[in-house]
Amino acid sequence: MNVLLILGHPRTDSYCTALADAYREGAREADVDVRELAVADIEFDPDVRADSPENQPLEPDLRAAQRDLEWADHLVFVYPNWWGTMPARLKGFFDRLFRPGFAFSFYDEGEGAGKEELLDDKTAELIVTMDVPPRIYRWVLRQPGNHALKRATLGYAGVRTTRVTNMGPIEDSSLEEREDWLEEVRELGRSLETGPDTRLGRAKRTATSWLKALRLQFYPMAWIAYTIGALAAVGSDAFSAGAYWLGLGFLFALEAATVLSNEYADYETDRWNTFAGPFTGGSRVLVDDELSFGQVRAGIGAFLAAAVALGGAAALVGIGSTAATAGTMGALAALALGYTLPPLRLAYRTLGELDVAVTHSVGVLVLGFVVLGGAWYDPVPWLLGLPFLLSVLPSITLAGVPDVAADRLADKWTIAARFGVGGAATVAAGTAVLGALLGALLGLLDVVPGYGPAIYLSLVHALGLVWLLRERLEPAAGAQRIDLLMAASLSFIAWFGVVPLVGLL
């Protein structure tokens, strides 16, 4: 590991220097490479005098500091807290050095306008001296300087701060207290032997990565459809049945295994994707090395085992036919996992959108109906599920637009990849209008339970989505961020989930 130790005090005869020396001693005991930089010793103008920092030439010392920053894996800042934040010279160091083209860059491509973090391969830690008691600084003053450096400066460039150590009050401290702080900082340096994260920090980071990988934002859609099916079978008594909760557990485990398998199988297209968002491009835990391929494979296996156990229990204790429940679960699992996994790999054969729509609407709705005693051939769950299916198709079809270039490179032939962005827009518009018309017809004819007058508003939403597609989507532009369109198409699904769900309760 390469460690750059930056002394941010404007003098080199301060207690901060002693702390930096102690950290260096500990770090070298941990057998890491350490370079040191004192902002007091480098010659540079701390003020940005040009119209933008990148237009002001760097002095030789700043160019050398830039090379040191590029070399480093871990940055350690030792500085005093003055007036709640860092000294002016350290602030000037960041003003001049953390500039566009080095720390970050901007891009502007329609709705894809944004920022790229250029130092996201680095970690950092802050060692801060202060005269206010650290508890007061944290709980009363709310750590303004720590947050500014950690989030607004380092975080803006992609540097992840692993720990912050506040020490004080310094002015009235005893020699014994100062010696204790030196030893504490020396131990911080030694701890680099196991990496820049603390044990708790590593655990938190791993847990956060798994939550990110599971992509929980996708689960409610299936849960709502499953509950509609259960309510259609036995009414509100469904919630008191153990089989309902076991089936819901099966559904969660299967969804988790499916999401992780998609992450695993779609690595290549995710790696090439430059327009990833909250609903497209995967969670990127593999692309960003947050989890290993082995960890993801283990996660898939664990969730599949949980799905088998929970599904078997639901089939055995369920109100309905054991064979029908097991058969429905098996078919649902085959379709869900077959989205990206061989031999089906439906997403690579222009059948992925239909697969997602079927599994997240009719599939789980029929499952809920069967688990709670309904017959799989009863027309009620199928009729309830059909407009739901059509309402899912716009969002899952449009989700291929930001991925279209990457998908083509990976031979993943989504609707957008095969028929172009214009073709995807046509499918999204047509299925939205058709779904709204079918939902309104079911409500008008009163042939299934749950569809009240509110479903007619889905027609307005569908027409609004069609208008947005005409106004905001640029077919000739190819891959593009479409966050507003994704929000509009995903919220469209709510009409066919929430309205029947409320109507059946």
Q: Give pLDDT, residue 111.
A: 43
Task: Report residue 15 as tokens.
Answer: 């207690």
Q: What is the pLDDT confidence band of residue 202, given thresholds at 50, 70 and 90?
A: confident
Print the domain residue range for 133. 2-197
Residue 449 scores a pLDDT above 50: yes
Q: What is the pLDDT confidence band of residue 108, given thresholds at 50, 70 and 90?
A: low
Q: Say if CB 98 and CB 152 are below 8 A apart.
A: no
Structural domain ending residue among the three candidates 174, 197, 220: 197
Q: Give pLDDT, residue 114.
A: 63
Whether the bond into 342 is cis, omega within 30 of 0: no
Q: Are residues 187 and 225 in the same domain?
A: no
The whole-chain average pLDDT of the chain stands at 94
Structural domain ending residue among the three candidates 142, 170, 197: 197
Asked whether residue 461 is assigned to any structural domain, the reply reads: yes
Least confident span in 300-309, 329-338, 442-451, 463-472: 442-451
Q: Say if CB 197 and CB 205 are below 8 A apart.
A: yes
Mean pLDDT of 125-142: 95
Structural domain ending residue among the three candidates 197, 226, 249: 197
Taking the C-alpha atoms of residue 384 and residue 504, their distance in angstroms, rounded to an integer, is: 11
The beta-carbon contacts of 276-279 under 8 Å, at least 24 apart in sequence, are: 276/402, 277/402, 277/481, 277/483, 277/486, 278/217, 279/217, 279/218, 279/395, 279/399, 279/486, 279/490
Q: Could you tell me where the beta strands, DSSP code E, fall in 40-187?
A: 74-80, 104-107, 114-117, 123-129, 160-167
Least confident span in 210-214, 269-273, 350-354: 269-273
Task: Write down the pTM of the prediction.
Answer: 0.80
- High-pLDDT (> 70) share of the chain, %: 98
Q: Are residues 62 and 137 in the same domain?
A: yes
Question: DSSP 3-state assignment of 360?
Answer: helix
Residue 113 scores a pLDDT above 80: no
Q: What is 465-487 written as a DSSP string?
A: HHHHHHHH--GGG-S---HHHHH
Residue 279 scores a pLDDT above 80: no
Q: What is the pLDDT confidence band of residue 248, given thresholds at 50, 70 and 90?
A: very high
Mean pLDDT of 20-36: 97
**Per-residue pLDDT tens digits for 154-201:** 999 999 999 999 999 999 999 999 999 999 999 999 999 999 988 888
Q: Give pLDDT, residue 110.
A: 45
State the number of CA atoms in the 13 A half-sphere of 342 facing the CB. 0
Instruction: Look up residue 342 and give its amino acid.
Output: P
In terms of Cβ atoms closer than 10 Å to its own Cβ (0-12, 13-18, 19+), residue 384 is buried
Number of domains in the chain: 2
Closest CA to 283 of 85, 119, 291: 291
Asked whether residue 204 is assigned to any structural domain, the reply reads: no
Phi-psi region of 454 (alpha: psi -120 to 50; beta: other; left: phi over 0): alpha
Taking the C-alpha atoms of residue 279 and residue 275, their distance in angstroms, rounded to an integer, is: 11
Q: Are residues 79 and 220 in the same domain?
A: no
Q: Are residues 161 and 250 in the same domain?
A: no
Asked whether residue 203 is assigned to any structural domain, the reply reads: no
- High-pLDDT (> 90) share of the chain, %: 87
Q: Are residues 383 and 249 in the same domain?
A: yes
Asked whether residue 430 is assigned to any structural domain, the reply reads: yes
Residue 276 scores a pLDDT above 80: no
**Per-residue pLDDT tens digits for 84-106:** 999 999 999 999 999 999 999 98
Q: What is the CATH number of the domain that holds 232?
A: 1.10.357.140
Instruction: Look up residue 432 and give its amino acid.
Output: A
First-to-last C-alpha distance (Å) of the chain: 59
Q: Give pLDDT, residue 112.
A: 45
Using alpha carbons only, give the angle 256, 279, 405 rounded to the nearest 5 degrees.
Answer: 115
Q: Give pLDDT, residue 258.
A: 97
Q: Give pLDDT, residue 318.
A: 79
Strand order, beta sheet including 160-167: 33-38, 2-7, 74-80, 123-129, 160-167
Q: Are residues 122 and 54 in the same domain?
A: yes
Using CA atoms, how far residue 138 sits from 43, 130, 274, 492, in Å, is 34, 12, 38, 44
Using alpha carbons only, give the angle 262, 264, 268 rounded to the nearest 5 degrees.
Answer: 100
DSSP designation for 238? G
Q: Are residues 166 and 314 in the same domain?
A: no
